[in-house]
């Protein structure tokens, strides 16, 4: 009996989504590797806070810079071959990390390992084109849940370090990446209709960078994704320094932020399809505004002069309250990452790869710059919560920009209604 073509096509699109999400999870796990491995390396190499921030952020740099060309190549050649070759290219640099001995060795290897982070700009347009427009937000949200690789790294890397030292981590991660690349090739598919064709020039694809909406969405994404990456790299060390936890407990608590910040992105895609990208992103920014305001307050000891004498008052977040607020921020970021890309699929349906590459570049650069700024602010001020003060400022910029960008459109819509 002949198979149903519609059923076969439906099965193929879900197979592509599943294997792409798995591959992105592994790529993100590798991309965040230095956030945990960097802690024993900091002690081994005698690094200060700024140097640690640079080490943790180095892979994020290349993973961000390659997003634009990778997105354009995905539009031209298809996501299957680009994604597969990208994963294969990272296997050897990951494995060679165990032979590094000097600080600059790790920085150089980190640049090559960081290419795994560019997989987002390949998988997003690749997955989106397998689904109808009313389901693209959900599909991209499910794929983006691969951000949970940051949480997987926080569980896997400390366990591997405890079992055989930090050098065991790159050995295992290289093997996992190789196996994942093979699985991706076996269970993914290619559709020639999903490419733009040779008639579209590279320069034509880059013209989209002149659109103001692209830069507006880039700013939003630098907050919800760049902030997520920066905190995912920084939180394990934050718990160790602020509360004195060992690395296993610190990584576990940090995963309470990373895990919902990745997995719940699918819910953000569904909400964006149902309520629209603008409303969803607007409320995300307000939730983050409240969270970062609370997290910005440092541990404080006050002495108040009363009629009965001095009274001491200690103000600060306990580890459990801090973790709870961080989890709320992680959920908001997960939703926001999906809603920003719903803007892109709505406004640039014919050029998703190039636009997602530009927006992903902005978000990735935010993830690169923030850990360095976190370390520099800590070295400069000695206040560990200064990282949240910085993020609070970026959210304020987004809220103001959103208000003045969408206000004319909202007024015209109300007048028409």
Convert the pLDDT of each residue in 5-33 to its tens digit.
444 557 888 899 999 999 999 999 999 89
292 near 329, Cβ under 8 Å? yes
**pLDDT the model gives residue 347:** 75
Task: Give one word for 369, left, alpha or beta, with left for phi > 0 and alpha for psi -120 to 50.
Answer: alpha
Whether residue 58 has pLDDT greater than 80: yes
Whether residue 372 has pLDDT greater than 60: yes
In a domain, 107, yes or no: yes
Convert the pLDDT of each residue in 354-364 to its tens digit.
787 788 788 88
Q: Where are the beta strands (DSSP E) in 182-322?
A: 300-306, 309-315
Convert the pLDDT of each residue in 91-117 to its tens digit.
999 999 989 889 999 999 999 999 998
**pLDDT the model gives residue 4:** 45
Give residue 265's pLDDT band: very low, low, confident or very high (50, 70, 90). confident
Q: Please give the span between the terminal C-alpha atoms of the chain, in angstroms, as a whole number.
A: 54
In a domain, 5, yes or no: no
Average pLDDT over residues 346-353: 71
In a domain, 269, yes or no: yes
Average pLDDT over residues 44-67: 87
The token pair at 236 is 């394990």
In a domain, 197, yes or no: no
- For 348, the domain range is 12-189+202-416
**pLDDT the model gives residue 196:** 66
Whether residue 172 has pLDDT greater than 90: yes
Query: Which residues, at least 6 apart from 230, have a Cβ–Cβ distance to it below 8 Å?
Result: 57, 366, 367, 369, 370, 371, 374, 387, 391
Average pLDDT over residues 166-187: 94
In a domain, 207, yes or no: yes
**pLDDT the model gives residue 5:** 45
Convert the pLDDT of each residue in 179-230 to its tens digit.
999 999 999 988 877 776 655 565 665 666 667 788 888 888 889 988 988 8
Query: Which residues, at least 6 apart from 181, have a Cβ–Cβ distance to it below 8 Å?
Result: 23, 84, 87, 88, 91
93 near 141, Cβ under 8 Å? no
In a domain, 29, yes or no: yes
Give residue 413's pLDDT band: very low, low, confident or very high (50, 70, 90). low
What's the Cα-to-Cα distance from 371 to each of 108, 180, 305, rounded to whole Å? Answer: 18, 29, 40
Query: DSSP letter string over 17-54?
Result: HHHHHHHHHHHHHHHTTHHHHHHHHHHHHT--HHHHHH
Whether residue 271 has pLDDT greater than 90: no
The token pair at 103 is 């600080």
Q: What is the CATH number of the domain that holds 181?
A: 1.20.1250.20
Average pLDDT over residues 27-51: 89
Query: Which residues, at least 6 apart from 17, have a Cβ–Cβ distance to it below 8 Å?
Result: 127, 130, 131, 139, 142, 143
Domain count, the chain: 1
Whether residue 2 has pLDDT greater than 50: no
Identify the DSSP state of 304. E
The token pair at 111 is 């640049």
In a domain, 229, yes or no: yes
Tell me which of 391 and 301 has the higher pLDDT. 391
In a domain, 195, yes or no: no
Convert the pLDDT of each residue in 134-160 to its tens digit.
777 788 888 888 888 888 888 899 899
**pLDDT the model gives residue 212:** 79
Whether residue 293 has pLDDT greater than 90: yes
Proportion of the chain above pLDDT 90, given as a percent: 28
For residue 312, list its beta bridge partners: 303
Among all chains, which residue has been given the structure tokens 């099965």? 11
């Amino acid at each position: 009996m002949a198979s149903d073509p519609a059923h076969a096509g439906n099965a193929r699109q879900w197979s592509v989504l599943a294997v792409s999400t798995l591959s992105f999870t592994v790529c993100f796990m590798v991309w965040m590797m230095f956030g945990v491995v960097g802690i024993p390396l900091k002690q081994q190499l005698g690094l200060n806070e700024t140097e640690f921030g640079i080490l943790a952020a180095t892979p994020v740099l290349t993973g961000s810079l390659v997003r634009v060309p990778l997105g354009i190549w995905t539009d031209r050649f298809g996501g299957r071959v680009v994604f597969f070759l990208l994963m294969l290219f990272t296997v050897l640099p990951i494995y060679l990390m165990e032979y590094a001995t000097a600080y600059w060795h790790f920085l150089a290897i980190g640049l090559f390992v960081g290419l795994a982070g560019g997989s987002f700009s390949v998988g997003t347009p690749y997955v989106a084109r397998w689904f109808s427009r009313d389901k693209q937000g959900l599909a991209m949200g499910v794929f983006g849940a691969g951000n949970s690789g940051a949480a997987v790294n926080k569980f896997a890397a400390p366990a591997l370090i405890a079992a055989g030292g930090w050098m065991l981590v790159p050995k295992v991660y290289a093997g996992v990446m190789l196996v994942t690349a093979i699985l991706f090739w076996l269970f993914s598919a290619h559709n020639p209709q999903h490419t733009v064709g040779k008639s579209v020039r590279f320069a034509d694809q880059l013209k989209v960078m002149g659109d103001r909406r692209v830069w507006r969405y880039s700013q939003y994404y630098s907050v919800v994704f760049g902030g997520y990456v920066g905190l995912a790299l920084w939180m394990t060390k934050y718990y160790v320094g602020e509360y004195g936890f060992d690395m296993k407990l610190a990584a576990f608590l940090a995963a309470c932020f990373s895990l919902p910040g990745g997995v719940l992105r699918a819910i953000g895609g569904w909400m964006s399809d149902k309520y629209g990208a603008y409303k969803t992103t607007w409320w995300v920014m307000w939730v983050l505004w409240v969270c970062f305001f609370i997290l910005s307050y440092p541990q404080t000891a006050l002495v108040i002069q009363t009629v009965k004498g001095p009274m001491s008052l200690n103000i600060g977040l306990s580890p459990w309250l801090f973790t709870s607020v961080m989890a709320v921020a992680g959920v908001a970021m997960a939703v926001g990452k999906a809603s920003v890309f719903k803007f892109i699929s709505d406004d640039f349906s014919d050029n998703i790869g190039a636009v997602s590459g530009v927006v992903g570049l902005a978000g990735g650069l935010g993830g690169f710059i923030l850990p360095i700024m976190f370390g520099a602010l800590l070295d400069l001020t000695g206040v560990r919560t200064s990282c949240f003060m910085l993020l609070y400022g970026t959210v304020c910029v987004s809220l103001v920009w959103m208000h003045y960008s969408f206000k004319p459109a909202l007024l015209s819509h109300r007048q028409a209604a």
